[in-house]
Chain A
Amino acid sequence: MSRPQRHWDARAALNFMLGGSGAGLMAAGALLEPPSPWPLACAAVLIAVGLTAVWLEIGKKARALHVLFNPYTSWMARESLAALLLFPLAFGSILTLRLIPAAAMAALVFLWCQARILRASRGIPAWRAPEIVPLVVCTGLAEGAGLALFFSHPPLLLAAYALAVTARAWAWLRYNAATKNAALAPAGRSLLAIGTGGALACAALAMDSSAFAWLAGLAAVGTGWRLKFALVTRASAYQGFSLPHLPVRGAR
């Protein structure tokens, strides 16, 4: 008999880390000049590894295709459908660069579904907060833009990177104000200090040196992954039970 499981673990977290970064990279790949299919191919591999990790978590691996049965209400099913659309577009972009914008759009849909997966988890206060949606989306975009800096760093991409990193910091501050989750505090501090302050400083110097562009990319990806790992594993505490009224026994 397997041990009863009541939480998601690192395998599920990997889907949000690698899948989010991959989707962000696929979206940022549309901004590269000259256009190149290789960031999209790398992004597809990242997303595939993330989905493989979550496949390793499910209990009945041979039934994995059942995940597609309920796109009407389940964001997990919708995420899987978005992945089915995303992979052919990503690898098709190797054949024709005209598919890059379509692949980027599919990646954004995938990223949106990931964010809504957490939002729909009403048992976990750290996930059900509405502020989680912009946080997960902005984190994926910032990580993706950071990864794209490893391929090239044209001004348009650097501007998008700075915007994404700033938006991620804003989304984190908003989320943190709403949830005040102590389990996320260390990851949040590093996201602001290294992933935002340090990352923007490196990006400002990236036009002069590729090393700074890579450092900026590392700062965005590392801090984003740390936050999402903590979010999916350490912050996934149930709300517990509370009684609005105590039983009235005996004489009043």
Chain B
Amino acid sequence: MTRWAMVADLRRCVGCQTCTAACKQANGTPPGVQWRRVLDLEVGEYPAVKRAFVPVGCMHCDDPPCMHVCPSTATRKRSDGIVTIDPELCIGCAYCAVACPYEARYKVDGVATKCTFCVERIDAGTAKGLTPGVDPEATPACVNSCIANALHFGDVEDPASNVSRLLAENQHFRMSEALGTGPGFYYLWDKAP
């Protein structure tokens, strides 16, 4: 079974925002709406301050709170782990927006929107026999655009995939794991011991 996931190497991300621009260009999101964001976090107090750039967006959770609360069944999860929104069913109640711990949803023109992992590219690419995360034509726009090779995409259920290798070779975490949502977005922070 395929489970698409994204991996961000925090050691490599330089906060250039190229991925946010690529996302905007690829998905045509309106002003103020940014499906892929890169946070610029400062941690600690002067002089012991560290800085980290953290790409965030929809985490395409294993157990998505947005899907459970959606009263209209507009939000669904595909068998490959991608969480989708049907704009024809969505009523724009914004319940999903307040249920998402990752601030990933925006109500625009009356309906909820969010990162789709560029699902159309994935579907079109796999239909041609391409491999998402390896072949750019089948890979999310943000990953393709990353100048530092910090963003990666692939199938975490395939032990030979690019993302599985990265997760095996590095220490990683997922955002707010204590909430039990099972995000499909991993952050690498150090080499495996």
| Residues of chain A having any CB pair with chain B under 8 Å | 1-8, 54, 57-60, 63-64, 66-70, 73-77, 80, 117, 120-124, 127, 236, 238-239, 241-249
Bound-state CA distance A6–B65 (Å) is 15
Contact A60 B97 (CB under 8 A): no
Contact A2 B98 (CB under 8 A): no
Partner of A241, one of B41, B188, B191: B41
Contact B10 A57 (CB under 8 A): no
Contacts of B191 in A (CB 8 A): 248
Contact B43 A243 (CB under 8 A): yes
Minimum CB–CB distance for B72 against chain A, Å: 4
- Given A70-B73, A74-B68, A241-B54, also A3-B32 (CB < 8 A): yes
Q: Is B106 part of the binding interface, using a Cβ–Cβ cutoff of 8 Å?
A: yes
Partner of A57, one of B33, B89, B93, B99: B93
Contact A70 B11 (CB under 8 A): no
C-beta contact mask, B97-132 vs A, less than 8 Å → 1, else 0? 111111101111111000000000000000000000
Contact B73 A2 (CB under 8 A): no
- Given A123-B101, A236-B98, also A4-B110 (CB < 8 A): no
Identify the closest chain A residue to B43 (Cβ).
A246
What are 15 A-B contacts with C-beta separation under 8 Å? Answer: A2-B110, A8-B94, A8-B98, A57-B94, A59-B109, A66-B74, A76-B93, A77-B72, A80-B71, A117-B95, A121-B95, A122-B65, A241-B54, A245-B189, A247-B10
Contacts of A80 in B (CB 8 A): 71
Identify the closest chain B residue to A78 (Cβ).
B71
Identify the closest chain B residue to A6 (Cβ).
B97
Contact A63 B72 (CB under 8 A): yes
Bound-state CA distance A246–B181 (Å) is 22
C-beta contact mask, B73-99 vs A, less than 8 Å → 1, else 0? 110000000000000011111110111
Contact B97 A246 (CB under 8 A): no
Contacts of A54 in B (CB 8 A): 93
Bound-state CA distance A23–B190 (Å) is 54
Partner of B71, one of A2, A3, A76, A244: A76
Interface size of B by CB at 8 A reads: 53
Identify the closest chain A residue to B103 (Cβ).
A238
Contact B98 A4 (CB under 8 A): no
Contact B99 A59 (CB under 8 A): no
Bound-state CA distance A236–B94 (Å) is 13
Bound-state CA distance A236–B98 (Å) is 8
Contact A70 B72 (CB under 8 A): yes
Minimum CB–CB distance for B120 against chain A, Å: 22
Contacts of B181 in A (CB 8 A): 122
Contacts of B167 in A (CB 8 A): none
Contacts of B106 in A (CB 8 A): 4-6
Q: Is B25 part of the binding interface, using a Cβ–Cβ cutoff of 8 Å?
A: no
Contact B94 A67 (CB under 8 A): no
- Given A5-B107, A57-B94, also A248-B190 (CB < 8 A): yes
Bound-state CA distance A241–B89 (Å) is 30
Bound-state CA distance A69–B86 (Å) is 13
Contacts of A6 in B (CB 8 A): 94, 97, 103, 105-107
Contact B92 A59 (CB under 8 A): yes
Partner of B111, one of A60, A67, A74, A243: A60
Minimum CB–CB distance for A17 against chain B, Å: 17
Minimum CB–CB distance for B10 against chain A, Å: 4
Contacts of B68 in A (CB 8 A): 73-74, 120
Of B68, B73, B91, B171, chain A has the most CB atoms within 10 Å of the CB of B91
Minimum CB–CB distance for B25 against chain A, Å: 18
Bound-state CA distance A238–B32 (Å) is 18
Contact A122 B91 (CB under 8 A): no
Identify the closest chain B residue to A67 (Cβ).
B71
